[in-house]
């Protein structure tokens, strides 16, 4: 339901915005994951996405953030990028040092995993569009809200002593506020501009049907595969005429290696009821021309197709052999003439 709404909204924005890139659909998200095996072995890695495209990565071993797209620098100058890079390097060292300090203070046991999930949208000055969440051992414990650190709802009591310490550091709070409210939206605006062509890319899906493993005697599992589409948002449904089949099970949307997506939708039916069913696919790249594939005939099993091809080839071979043989047996016309 959420996806359908999203698709509708997307279509609406497309129709309404014309050539504009609908910004709300391209949030910038960064994920930092830090693993502390013990007090001496730690590593921190980072990833960033604009919408569904991965734009940056930062491996522990490296001093610099990797730009994964030709437009990953957005409209920032080399100097601005260098200044930010320096800031993030110090942040990474400080972060590692501080987590170890907290572990000591609170007698936390290693190994520890800390994740930071942060990001923003291109809307400057809209504080509800940015976020900074921290999770400890997979559990959300603290967020940056407005201009200070706040405990998450499910945070254990021990988080409060950490938050008290964090909130005493005025300098870091100001830096985080500045990054989230000024730098991040500016950077994202630049990315939307420089990456426009790729962000607006539309790739049509291909679809095909197959039979899944039998769910039981007299039952069929119909599988509708949809692959190679971009952007990610897609609608796939098994239909009987114009009737959507509520038994349709949608799989996860999985990434292909070429930054397109794959999805399958299955439907379990009694063997006698499969005829007249069809799989319908809607996607923004199809511009309203839905793909409709009918069950029956078209997806004859691969085995049958191979058999048919082999039979044809055998027939052809027999014909050739027969004709050659027939000609060989004829007396030479040259002799007659």
Ligand X SMILES: *[C@@H]1O[C@H](CO)[C@@H](O)[C@H](O)[C@H]1NC(C)=O
91 binds ligand X (CB under 6 A): yes
Which pairs from 106-110 meet CB under 8 Å and 24+ separation? 106/158, 106/161, 106/162, 110/36, 110/37, 110/38, 110/39
d(CA 106, CA 161): 9
Give the start-end residues of each E strand in 212-300.
219-229, 235-240, 243-244, 249-250, 254-255, 261-270, 277-282, 291-294
What are residue 233's phi and psi, to 5 degrees? -70, 125
How many beta carbons lie within 10 A of that of residue 97, not counting itself? 11
Q: Among 45-53, 65-73, 125-133, 290-298, which window interacts with ligand X (CB under 6 A)?
A: 125-133
Question: Which one of the spans 36-44, 101-109, 150-158, 226-234 is the region binding ligand X (CB under 6 A)?
Answer: 36-44
Residues in the chain: 337
Least Å distance, CB 148 to ligand X, is 16
When binding is defined by CB under 6 A, the residue of 55, 72, 118, 129 that contacts ligand X is 129
- With respect to ligand X, which residue has the nearer C-beta, 102 or 261? 102
- Least distance in Å: CB of 138 to ligand X? 19
Site membership for ligand X, residue 264 (CB under 6 A):
no
C-beta closer to ligand X: residue 90 or 319: 90
- Residues contacting residue 94 through CB under 8 Å, at least 6 positions apart: none
Name which of 39 and 243 has its Cβ closer to ligand X: 39
CA distance 166 to 175: 13
Tell me the window of 35-43, 188-196, 219-227, 326-334 that interacts with ligand X (CB under 6 A): 35-43
Query: Between residue 177 and residue 216, which ones bind ligand X under the rule CB under 6 A?
Result: none
CB atoms within 10 A of CB 126: 12
Greatest Cα pair distance, the chain, in angstroms, is 115
Number of residues located near ligand X, criterion CB under 6 A:
18
Write the burial class of residue 15 (CB in 10 Å: 0-12 exposed, 13-18 middle, 19+ buried): exposed
Based on the shown chain and the rule CB under 6 A, indicate whether residue 83 belongs to the binding site for ligand X. no
Q: Exactly one of 2, 5, 38, 138 binds ligand X (CB under 6 A); which one?
A: 38
Residue found under tokens 């991040």: 184
Residue 147 within binding range of ligand X, rule CB under 6 A = no
37 in contact with ligand X (CB under 6 A): yes
Whichever of 52 and 123 has its CB closer to ligand X, that residue is 123
Is 90 a residue that touches ligand X (CB under 6 A)? yes
Does 332 engage in binding with ligand X (CB under 6 A)? no
Residue 62 binding ligand X, by CB under 6 A: no
38 or 153: CB nearest ligand X:
38
**Smallest separation, CB 54 to ligand X (Å):** 21
The residues, any chain, with a CB within 8 Å of residue 184's CB and separated by 6 or more, are: 28, 119, 120, 130
The binding site for ligand X (CB under 6 A) comprises: 37-38, 40-41, 43, 60-61, 87, 90-91, 94, 123, 126, 128-129, 171-172, 175
């Amino acid at each position: 339901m959420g996806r359908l709404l999203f698709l509708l909204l997307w279509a609406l924005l497309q129709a309404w915005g014309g050539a504009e890139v609908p910004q709300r659909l391209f949030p910038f998200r960064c994920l930092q994951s830090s693993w502390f095996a013990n007090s001496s072995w730690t590593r921190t890695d980072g990833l960033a996405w604009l919408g569904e495209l991965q734009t940056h990565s930062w491996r522990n071993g490296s001093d610099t953030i990797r730009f994964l797209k030709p437009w990953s620098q957005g409209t920032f100058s080399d100097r601005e990028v260098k200044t930010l890079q320096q800031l993030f390097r110090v942040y990474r060292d400080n972060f590692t040092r501080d987590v170890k300090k907290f572990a000591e203070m609170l007698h936390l046991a290693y190994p520890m995993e800390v994740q930071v999930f942060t990001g923003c949208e291109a809307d400057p000055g809209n504080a509800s569009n940015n976020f900074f969440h921290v999770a400890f051992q997979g559990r959300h414990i603290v967020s940056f809200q407005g201009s200070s650190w706040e405990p998450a709802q499910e945070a254990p009591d021990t988080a409060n002593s950490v938050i008290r310490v964090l909130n005493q550091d005025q300098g870091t709070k100001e830096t985080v506020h500045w990054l989230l409210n000024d730098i991040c939206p500016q950077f994202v605006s630049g990315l939307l501009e420089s990456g426009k062509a790729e962000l607006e890319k539309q790739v049509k899906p291909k679809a095909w049907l197959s039979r899944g493993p039998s769910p039981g005697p007299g039952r069929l599992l119909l599988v509708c595969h949809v692959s190679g589409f971009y952007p990610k948002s897609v609608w796939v449904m098994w239909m009987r005429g114009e009737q959507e089949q509520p038994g349709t099970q949608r799989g996860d949307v999985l990434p292909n290696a070429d930054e397109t997506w794959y999805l399958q939708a299955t439907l379990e039916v009694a063997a006698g009821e499969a005829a007249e069913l069809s799989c319908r696919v809607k996607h923004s790249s199809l511009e309203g021309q839905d793909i409709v594939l009918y069950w029956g005939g078209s997806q004859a099993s691969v085995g049958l197709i191979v058999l048919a091809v082999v039979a044809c080839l055998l027939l052809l071979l027999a014909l050739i052999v027969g004709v050659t043989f027939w000609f060989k047996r004829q007396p030479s016309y040259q002799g007659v003439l």
